Amino acid sequence: MQQTEQSLVDPTPKKNFDFIDSIRCISMMCIVFEHSAHVGVYIFKGLTLNNLFYMSLIQLAKPGTIAFFLLAGFLIGSKFKDYTPTAYFKRRLSNTFIPWAIWSLFFVLTMSWKMWIINHKEPDFKVLDIILKSFEDVYLFSSYWFIINFLICIGTLLIFRKYLYSIWLGIVLLIFTLIYSVNIYYEWFPPMHTYAMFGFVFFLWLGAQMNRHWEKVQEFISKISYWLLSILFIVTLALSIFEVTVLYKMESTDPYNTLRLTNIVYSLVAFVILLKIRNFNFTKYFKSRETTFGIYLIHYILVFNLLAEILHPFHFPPLKDLSMVGILALSLFRFIIIYSLTFAIVTAIGKSKLKWIIGR
């Protein structure tokens, strides 16, 4: 039986790009770390050292989202050749949208239930308000924004399929991305990256160009020294953190926005480093092809509904009251709990008759 799509990006290209599994795994770990370690934006009083350290931890994990779009774009060119636009889009819908719809609605249900438990004794409590608020939070402010955005990006490239490798299309798409980057400061329209329906198409296009010119890309990357890449990584990371502090002082709606210009550059540098190293042996133990999409679908539900309950018996003080060592330790502990638990659930589902609900 032909293997169906098992991840946020198609894991079965005709060419054997084994390194994609490694980068996919690391990218998902970054996303899970960011979501599990993030406990709020304005939780510290001012730009203290502890706050800067907390910002740095969140920023370190930011390349994950852009990396997924780059990987998807890397594999998309051959798929556009193998399928008609309609057939390709239907394949995407059947293998990603249905599992996404099931788990996102489950998240709406569990979030509504949790909010009911917390608020049902309030005099102005209304069940409908809780349900509507849960729909808004799940589809606009949680990780479930990704698939809708991703399908819109795919649809955009399908519409302009004839010009997929046109530099002019890339320039137009980059302009859209930069408009979102500037809007973070001016807020002409909602600035959250979860609203940026056309802000990520450029990265799909860029990934497609990397695939088309892969030999030249490999040759170029091989000539870049690890020293230079290390310096670029540190510099772009520092600039990204600095931009977070600027937006923090402005009391921005989304100071960690993925489409910040400095974060885009930082994410691209991090992606080049991953391409240069290419294969990470430890990732094979996490079965990236079988588990990545399921981890994406389930981990945020656990972060929202279970993480606080799991941590409650430990009586940890609030993150803002911890030292930098404490912030690091608690952030890693939160990540390990969520990733391990999600991985176990996804693995169990993958061995059952319900494996289709995690995108298999």
Q: CB neighbours (10 Å) of residue 72?
A: 24
Q: What is the pLDDT of residues 293-321, one digit of tens each?
A: 999 999 999 999 999 999 999 999 999 89
Res. 129: pLDDT tops 70: yes
What's the confidence (pLDDT) of residue 152?
87
Q: For residue 195, name the pLDDT band (cuts at 50, 70, 90).
A: confident
More confident residue, 80 or 38: 38
- If DSSP codes are grouped into helix, strand and coil, which group holds residue 318? coil
Q: For residue 3, name the pLDDT band (cuts at 50, 70, 90).
A: very low
What's the confidence (pLDDT) of residue 101?
93
What's the confidence (pLDDT) of residue 1?
41
What's the confidence (pLDDT) of residue 77?
66
For the segment 17-44, the average pLDDT, to the nearest whole number, is: 92
Pick from 246, 322, 299: nearest CA to 47: 246
For the segment 27-37, the average pLDDT, to the nearest whole number, is: 96
What's the confidence (pLDDT) of residue 174?
97
Pick from 267, 265, 240: nearest CA to 255: 240
Q: What is each CA distance from 61 to 26, 239, 240, 356, in whole angstroms?
A: 10, 15, 12, 29
**C-alpha to C-alpha distance for 276 and 230, rounded to whole angstroms:** 12
Name the range with the highest mean pLDDT among 144-153, 155-164, 241-250.
Answer: 241-250
- The verdict on pTM exceeding 0.85 is yes
More confident residue, 90 or 171: 171
Res. 5: pLDDT tops 70: no
Q: For residue 92, name the pLDDT band (cuts at 50, 70, 90).
A: confident
More confident residue, 296 or 155: 296
The least confident of 5-19, 57-71, 261-275 is: 5-19
Q: For residue 190, name the pLDDT band (cuts at 50, 70, 90).
A: confident
Pick from 265, 243, 331: nearest CA to 47: 243
* DSSP state, residue 161: G
Res. 274: pLDDT tops 60: yes
The least confident of 85-94, 168-177, 243-252, 348-357 is: 85-94
Q: For residue 82, name the pLDDT band (cuts at 50, 70, 90).
A: low
Q: What is the pLDDT of residues 197-220, one digit of tens each?
A: 889 999 999 999 999 999 999 999
The pairs formed by 38-43 with CB atoms below 8 angstroms and a separation of 24 or more are 38/256, 39/319, 41/248, 41/255, 41/256, 42/248, 42/251, 43/318, 43/319, 43/320
More confident residue, 12 or 143: 143
* DSSP state, residue 358: G
